[in-house]
Each structure stands twice: as C-alpha cells, then as structure tokens.
Amino acid sequence: MATKPRAVSKRAAKSRQKTPPDTKIGNGGETHQLATDTVLTTQQGTPVADDQNTLRLGERGPALLEDFHFREKIFHFDHERIPERVVHARGYGAHGYFETYRPLTELTRADVFARGGERTPAFVRFSTVAGSKGSFDLARDVRGFAVKLYTQEGNWDLVGNNIPVFFIQDPIKFPDMVHAVKPEPDRAFPQAQSAHDNFWDFVSLMPESTHMLMWVMSDRAIPRSFRFMEGFGVHTFRFVNAKGKSRFVKFHWKPEAGMQSVLWDEAVKINGADPDFHRRDLWDAIGQGDFPSWELGIQVFDDDFADRFDFDILDPTKIIPEEIVPVERVGRLVLDRVVDNFFAETEQVAFCTQNIVPGIDFTNDPLLQGRNFSYLDTQLKRLGSPNFTHIPINAPKCPFASFQQDGHMAMRNPVGRVNYEPNSWEGADRGPREDPVRGFTSYAAEEGGAKRRLRPSSFADHYSQARQFYRSQQPLEQQHIIEAFTFELSKVETPAIRERMVANLRNVDEDLARGVADGLGLPQLPAPSAPAVEPRDDLAASPALSILANAPDSFAGRKIGLLVADGASAAAVAAVQRAAKAEGAVVEVIAATITGATLDDGQLLPADQKLGGGPSVLYDAVVVLATEPGAELLATQPPAKEFVTHAHVHGKFVGYTPGAAPLFDAAGVVPDDGYVDVQRRGGAKQFGAVCRSLRHWPRLVPPTG
C-alpha cells in the first residue's frame, strides 16, 4: 500500500522538474520522492528512470536482455578490480611539489634542476613489497618510495625504496626472489611475512642478499611512519650536462622530521589495532597541515672515484658511505594534498624506471637494466592498454605529441591525415618532429666485450658491507637485528635452512651469529660458509647508517595519547595541549567511552578514541590524567592496564597526575625517569621537552650479566 506523501522542501519540489517523479524502491513498491539536482545517467549519458529494479517480463517473470542499464552497471562492477601489483601492491600516495634549492647546470642539463626556487608538481607512492593490497601496514618489509616528477621536459620517475641496496645483483633472479618471499604456493600463507621456509631457503643460498638482510632485519624495515623514513634511488645513475660531460649520481631522500621506527612488539600490536596505521598517519598529517617533507640529496662522483672505490658502483647490493662521498642537499619534496580518488590516482599510477628526462641517464647496473624492461611490460598487464599514459595521474603536465594511435582505451589520437614520420607535409599537417638539441640523447659511453652470461668478479664480495652495516649500529639496534633474525628463523621448519643462515652470518659478525644461534637453541655454531671473497675487516663504521645516531631531537609531527578519566584536572589537560602544540605534536584523547570524560570543571572533554580502541602502541608518548577514584576505576579495566603496561615496556615517555598511581600499581609498572608529573608547575612543558628524545632509551636497554 502506498505511503502518505511527505512534505517536501522548495528545493526538492524544484528538483522534480529535472528528475523522474517517482522511483520504485524495495519489494513493496513504495513511491518516494528523491531530492537531488543531479540526474543519474548511464556511462553514455542516458538519464536513468529506475536504479532499483531490473527490467522484467511481468511482475515475477525473467529478466530481459535489453536492460542496457543493468548490463552496463553489472559489467562495470564485475571489472572494478584491476590486477594488483605483483610487488608493492599495498600502497598509499599523495600529491606535492619538488623545489630546487639552486641551479645544478654544472652537473646536469635536466630542466627540473635548471632554476633555483622553481616548484615541480610531484606524486609519491609509498608501499610495502611482499604483501597483497589487503595486508597490513606494519609488516617487516622494504618500503617502496616512488616519486613521479612532472617536469617541463616530461615525467621523471625515481622509483626507489627506503633501503639503498637490494637482495639480488641480476634481474634474472627477481622472479625467484619474489616467489620465495610471497605466500608459499601450496598453502597460500604467510601473508606479508618473510618468516617462512621458502624465503630463508632462497636467501641462505644467495650470499649476495646478506647486506640487504641486515637492513631488513634492522629497525629500518618497521618505520614509525612514511614521514619518518629515508628514501633511496638504489641504483647508480648518470648526470649529463649541456656539454655532454657525465658524472655518476646516487639519489637520497632525507626526511626533515628525522628518522623513527617502532619496536617489533609494537608493530605486531599496531597491525591488530590499526592495520591502516601508515595510511591514516599520512592522511591525517596532510589534513592537519603538517606537510611531510624530505630533502633530495645527491652523491656525485666521477670515473676516477668509481675506479678507486673498494666496491663496484654498479652493484645494487652495495652503498657508497656518506662519510666517503657526502650527500649534498639540492632540493625539497613536500606532500601537501591527498588524492581525490584512491583508485584513479594511487592505484592507477604507473611508475617506470625508464622514465627519465634529458640530463639524467642510466648506467649498466644490471638490476636497473632489467627494471627498465620489466616495469613497462607490467603496466600493460595491470592497466590493460599501452595507453596507460592517457590516465590523468600518468599524463605529463608539459606539452607532448607523438604519432602513437589506437589501442584499448585510446583517449587521444593524431588529428588529420598524417600519423607517421618522416612525411612531406607542411605546416600543421606535418605533425611533430624530433629536436636534436632539446631531445633526449643517451650518453655516449664506450662499450665492448663478448656476449656472455656471467656475474662480474667485482660483485663477488657479499659480506664486507653487511659487516659494516651491522657494526655501524648502536648496541640496542644490534640487539634488535639479532632478535629479528631469531624470530624469523624460528618460524622456519627446516633445521638445515636455519643452520645454513647462521653459517652465513658468521661471515658478517661472530657476535651476531652467536646471538642468533643462542636464540634458536642451536647446540653449536655451524662452520662459516665459504665466501667467494674473504670479507674485509677494515671498513670504518658509518654513523649515517644508524637511526639512533641520527635522532631528530624533535617531537614535531608526533602524537600523544591522552588517557583521561572522569574528574581529571581541566588545567592539566590544557597544559598538556599547550605543551604539545609548542612541540608541534598532536594530542588524541582516549576515554572509557567515545563520548569522552567530564573534567573537574564540569566540562565534557570529547574523546577521539574509546578505551581499547586507542591502545598506547598508536602513540609516540602517553599521558594519564585521573584522580585516585578515577584511576581505581580504570584499574578494573584490562585495556587501561595494557595501555600503561605497553607504554612502559615500549619505552614511551609517560606524563601523569599523581592520582594515576592506582592504575600504575595495578599494571605492575614502576615509574622511572621517563615519567613526568604534568600537574606540577612547569611539568607539562618539561614533558614536551623530554619527548624530543622520542623514547626513554634506558628502559629499553637489555640487562647485562
């Protein structure tokens, strides 16, 4: 039975003139007026009269094939998902700009470096490598750091990672490496984890992966945020200036907010509490105007240095320590805008290492050469057409013209009769022509030699830089590496694989190998594996490789979790909020209910998170504000005790009011120098200052003896 007509607004009444008067809804056939100024259409622009019911023969009869709206709608739905990336499937992106500090014309003719202070539009996609699109953010994994710069001479894609080296030296091993780290094919797990037999079997048989393993087992592989990690171009490229002179260059992205990672136990708990932790962090930071930024650094060197360097500059498993070739900061990357649509931009963006511009060129790094082939081929499979550059996120922002035509989803085709060159037509009919002066010209490197399948002997030292990396870490970071190897190898079911990996680690560092062997309960250390080249023991430690040695001494961009109980001091809340603002930090309120807590001045403090939904692992520091009765009530709730316990064991700085003592007692924590009374005079300001150290490190140092 029809319902009684409802009163409608003037706007709704006006909209009836533009839309069909009635829309059938549901099984009852009720008639409702829809207030809208926009007419629903098919993709062809045909207005739709009924989007609730398919076209049928009779009231209960079969559906009709002529229902073009339904067929178009379900056809598009069935094809909403494009094949996800084989690697780097879980990604998140944002728009911004790159600003050059000064002209670099003495080094390169690249237009993006031609004028100081000029801003070039940019899009950046961060990602994990091993997991699928639906995996979690805090996997122990390499992070992709891919930058697309829309320069005035075409798109330049610097497709890198947050680790400057890679697992393999030759691209022919890339499918094997990825297959090994992905879920095992017979059981389809584990997801986004390398802690399984296949991965460790592969890398234990590939000594060239050892240096990369040091990085992946370090805290670099569990960053606190995309905003607090470095990025690297990985490979050695060339700069070529207007005179044709070439120098080698390596690219670095240095986070202006400093580096920061989480503890492994935090990562595990964050994945359960918020599997979108990194995505949310980037989205929130940009939304709050705390724009993430990195400085672009370059290491530039010539052939003479390349010939003298201890390792082959074309080996992608090696670095050039910053102490040997300093990193010069030449520009700044800022992300200041989130995407309008995740699929259209972050998911459809296509990065290709082959996308370079005049003034930047390749080297014979074999892995780079392989990537140049693979990436373009991959885009055809993922995006379904050679016309993926017609998608707005991939299109250049400078003038462009070619004779490419047709193919699936061609949005642009040549205009007029000519679609080839050379041609003899004149004027506008002739189409674009090459420009020997402005156009890209490959550096005229002299090459020669027999065609052979081989690995250069200069690539044969697989352990020396791995040893250098480990010995460049501070003791706590070394302990984390030992624990990471131990955890990963403890998930390996095959004893021979565990022993083979420990045997490889003996070529890196005896203490490292012994720590892992003890953690695995091996009865004795296996004999060291036979290295292709005896590892060197004379490489100086590189402080630049340590996160802790390069702490930012700033709490800017970080987050404080403020656990508040009813009756808490309003003055203390205000003092903490002022202190956080002064440090450039954000405060998030956690209370027993999402409604919030009523403070001692009678005002309601709204909550951002309900207790249990905002565990302390989501925050860089925490504050507990409660009276004794309020703390006693919190002490009866397991999430409140876990909030305090986890903050303590993870080395967080803890602010508190004296009334919080019953909660601390119930949680079994004993306040130390990392606890600050924020209620006393100047306490909140002191709390903000100590948070600049990010953690109370003495609490995390393992006991000795």
Q: Hey, which residues are catalytic here?
A: 88, 161
Q: Sign of torsion, CA 380 368 463 231?
A: negative
The kind and range of the H/E element at 145 are: strand 143-151
What distance lies between CA 561 and its chain's CA centroid?
23
| DSSP string computed for 165-189 | S-S-SSGGGHHHHHHHHSPBTTTTB
According to DSSP, residue 534 is labeled P
Please give the Cα distance from 165 to 542 (Å, whole number): 15
| Contact by Cβ (8 Å): 328, 178 | no
Please give the Cα distance from 94 to 58 (Å, whole number): 51
| Contact by Cβ (8 Å): 245, 318 | no
Strand ranges, E, within 515-625: 559-564, 586-591, 597-598, 604-605, 609-610, 621-625
| DSSP string computed for 341-408 | -HIIIIIT----TT---TTEE----HHHHHHHHHHHHHHHHHHSSTTGGGSGGGS-SS--------ST
Give SS3 for 221: helix
Which residue, 192, 617, 39, 352, is CA-closest to 609? 617
| Contact by Cβ (8 Å): 194, 497 | no
Task: Dig out the tokens for 364 from the structure.
Answer: 């014979």
Residues paired with residue 296 on neighbouring β-strands, in sequence order: 253, 331
User: What are φ and ψ of residue 227, in 5° steps?
Assistant: -70, -20
Determine the residue type at 102: R
Name the H helices within 550-660: 570-583, 628-634, 638-649
Task: Dig out the tokens for 187 from the structure.
Answer: 């059981």
Name the H helices within 595-635: 628-634
| Contact by Cβ (8 Å): 23, 36 | no
**Quick check: bond before 399 cis, omega within 30?**
no
Helix 197-204 vs helix 174-181: angle between axes, to the nearest 10 degrees?
150
Pairing, β 609-610 against β 621-625: unpaired
Residue 272, CA distances (Å) to 182, 264, 277, 430, 664 in order: 21, 13, 10, 61, 24
